[in-house]
Structure 1
Amino acid sequence: MSANWINDLIHNRRSVFSKQFAIDDPVDDVIVQQLLENANWAPTHKLTEPWRFKVYSGDGLKEFTNTHVKAYETLAGERFSEAKLEKIKQPLTCSHMIVVAMKRHESVPFIEEVAAVACAVQNMHLTAQAYGIGAYWSTGGVCLWEGAAQKFGFEADHQLLGFFYVGNVAVPSPKGKRGAIEEKVLWIK
């Protein structure tokens, strides 16, 4: 391993969205297992390892869609939109859907647990990049609503933190852009 290799990996990591995935070309489960194994090595305060995952693939993607629809219908309340419901009902075009949750440990501040799960997801993103597969983490909608984790079969002390879509890339993402780091850092010597 070289510093240049890791720099290139980080600089070239991109979110690859469902519309960019190859249809009917599933990612090998062995690679998805490696994504999860690398997620498990994220930093974690007090070694609480708060990340929890549920993986849907093949016919299981239909189960995910049905669960997502039911969660939206029961939790949306005043936020309900028929257009959003119809979008959720659309068949998924990803190879694997990884539901990301956080098991809450009261001995650790909430933000530290969220940060640990985010690091786990970044490990999955970087692993996907290294394997040449596409992935993205969606964190909006039902993910933000209280009780959503339980709709996906997680326990009461868990919080849903998003959906991680995985697929083989048919259409690559454009080159990334970032502003100059000098605009974001103040050195004090």
Structure 2
Amino acid sequence: MQALDLLLTRSSFSKLIAPAPSGEQLDKILQAGLRAPDHAHLSPYEIIVCEGEGLTKLTSILVESAIQSNYPEAKIEKAKTMVYRAPMVIVTIMRFKEHEKVPRVEQVATVGCATQNMQMAAQAMGFNGIWRTGSFATDSNVRKSFGLDEQDEIIGFLYLGTPESEPPIKRDRDPQKLVTYWR
């Protein structure tokens, strides 16, 4: 798939089945993530690939956090199954690195770009996925389970797998309504 075609037809898809990327494919996806713009080469990311028992470990973190946070029973039950919506979940975390020229917001953007790059690389290889955040990304108990410092942030949970069916293409947005030109 050509890069421009990929970007112009990109569409997240949540109906994912096995197989997930593996081996050389997964290596390329991770390398694509690590090619994200990274001012001063700080590498402010931690990337955790969860599959198999890793999904069970991630589920345990979410369920325990939901219980500790006194979430409603429905949310606790959802936490027990949500990561199994795909055969792989990649957790992307921004680990803040103090630097006089690279503010926190730029480091967040770096990890956001890394997450997007991985999703696009997966899609270019015939996989698909969906980038989710939700309340668990900011939950204090989840943050503690991942050993996050105050300035660190979970950027997303990138669900990856094989699309169960042909993903629909999102409608185009009208640039005339969203873009201003200063000429």
TM-score for the superposition, normalised by structure 1: 0.85
* RMSD of Structure 2 on Structure 1 (CA): 2.0
CA distance in 1, matches of 2:79, 2:23: 25
Distance 1:85 1:56 in 2: 20
Deviations 1:118-168 (A, max 9, x none): 11111011101110101111111110234533313x453632222111111
Counterpart among 100, 123, 129 of residue 92 in structure 2: 100
Match of 1:174 among 164, 168, 176: 168
Aligned equivalent of 2:36, options 22, 29, 42: 42
Q: How many residues align?
A: 179
Task: Assess if the C-alpha contact under 8 Å between 2:94 and 2:107 holds in 1.
Answer: yes
Asked if 1:84 is matched to 2:78, the reply is: no
Matched, 1:13 2:10: yes
How far is the alpha carbon of 1:53 from its aligned partner?
0.8
State how far apart, in whole Å, the 2-side matches of 1:52 and 1:27 are: 19
Structure 1: unaligned runs, 5 residues or longer: none
The aligned runs of 1:110-149 (5 Å cut-off) are: 110-146=104-140, 148-149=142-143
Are the counterparts in 2 of residues 27 and 95 from structure 1 also a CA contact under 8 Å?
A: no
Give % identity.
28
Q: CA deviation at 1:66?
A: 1.1
Residue 179 to residue 109, structure 1, CA distance change in 2 (3 Å): same
1:50 shift after superposition? 1.1
Question: How many Å separate the matches in 2 of 1:84 and 1:134?
Answer: 26
Is this contact kept in 1: 2:128–2:161, CA < 8 A? yes
Q: Contact (CA 8 Å) 1:148, 1:159: kept in 2 or not?
A: no
Corresponding residue for residue 159 of structure 1: 153
SS in 2 for 1:178: coil
Unaligned 5+ residue runs, structure 2? Answer: none
The answer to whether the Cα contact below 8 Å between 1:101 and 1:149 also exists between their aligned partners in 2 is no
Cα distance in structure 2, aligned partners of 1:71 and 1:160: 15
Q: 1:30-66: per-residue Cα shift (whole Å, max 9, x none)? A: 3222211110010012221212111111232112111
Tell me if the contact between 1:144 and 1:160 (Cα under 8 Å) persists in the aligned partners: yes
Offset at 1:174?
Answer: 1.1
